[in-house]
Amino acid sequence: MTIQTVSTNRSYGGVQGVYRHASQTTGTDMVFSVYVPPHAEGAKLPVVWYLSGLTCTHANVTEKGEFRNACAELGLIFVAPDTSPRGPDVPGDANNAYDFGLGAGFYVDATQEPFARNYRMWSYVTDELPKVVAGNFPVDAKRQSIMGHSMGGHGALTVALRNPHRYRAASAFAPIVAPSQVPWGIKALTGYLGPNKDTWRSHDTVALIEDGAKYSGFLVDVGEADNFLKEQLRPELLEAACTKANIPLTLRRQPGYDHSYYFISTFMSDHLHWHAERLKG
């Protein structure tokens, strides 16, 4: 549970930190960021987990997400892990593509070589990192929620559906809701999990809902000017699945917004207030 402090900065009365630790799950050093808002001594605070998208590290949301003001107001700890293992011995995509390998762990535990040894991001974000964070920060483990963007939206929604009693709220910006049906997901799931599509279903939001998974409700924002909306994101598939399964879904299509952090930061406060309402008590 030992962590190394990379940096700390005062912000909105709290502390934004970046930390490194040796992960037993991935077999690499992993870097993550944690914002701790101002709080009374001895207080335990609710925590929001944020899973980032393709090509990102912890730094993208930490530097561009504009979450600290709302987190300070609402008393929320905000944790942002990396998106994949990294290091000189970690295999990447043979063609150096952006949508597989380094920066594109897809929040699964790989079973295919040469990725199975290091690419265990599902276990990292659902098991190891929560223990590390709980051991070093004033977290109330009974009050957790999760959110993410794009590939991280896929991760957040699937994590919530498979752990509905751990996460009180789940939301997403521009999530890949049906990776089994879109190019990004088909490439990643084939590469990490193999060609048997039955093994993909537990990492596919729409498939999980079709197979009976339940959740209290989702908040999802997508930008109508997002270049990936029609081919990769397919929010209409989530809408249909939730309607059929009677899972409450607030799906907001935002005119003029794209896939970038300009979009995410615009609606970040909305999401955090939505999470805070469900994390009370």
Active site residues: 150, 226, 259
User: What distance in Å separates the CA atoms of residue 65 and residue 51, rounded to the nearest whole number?
Assistant: 12
- How far apart, in Å, are the Cα atoms of 232 and each of 130, 182, 210, 236? 29, 5, 19, 11
Instruction: Tell me the C-alpha distance between 129 and 34, whole Å.
Output: 11
How many CA within 13 A on the CB side of residue 137? 32
Query: Residues with Cβ < 8 Å from 182, sequence gap 6 or more?
Result: 176, 231, 232, 233, 234
Distances (CA, A) of 221 to 81, 146, 162, 175, 234: 21, 15, 21, 8, 12
Contacts of 246 (CB under 8 A, 6+ apart): none
CA angle 169, 258, 269 (to 5 degrees): 35
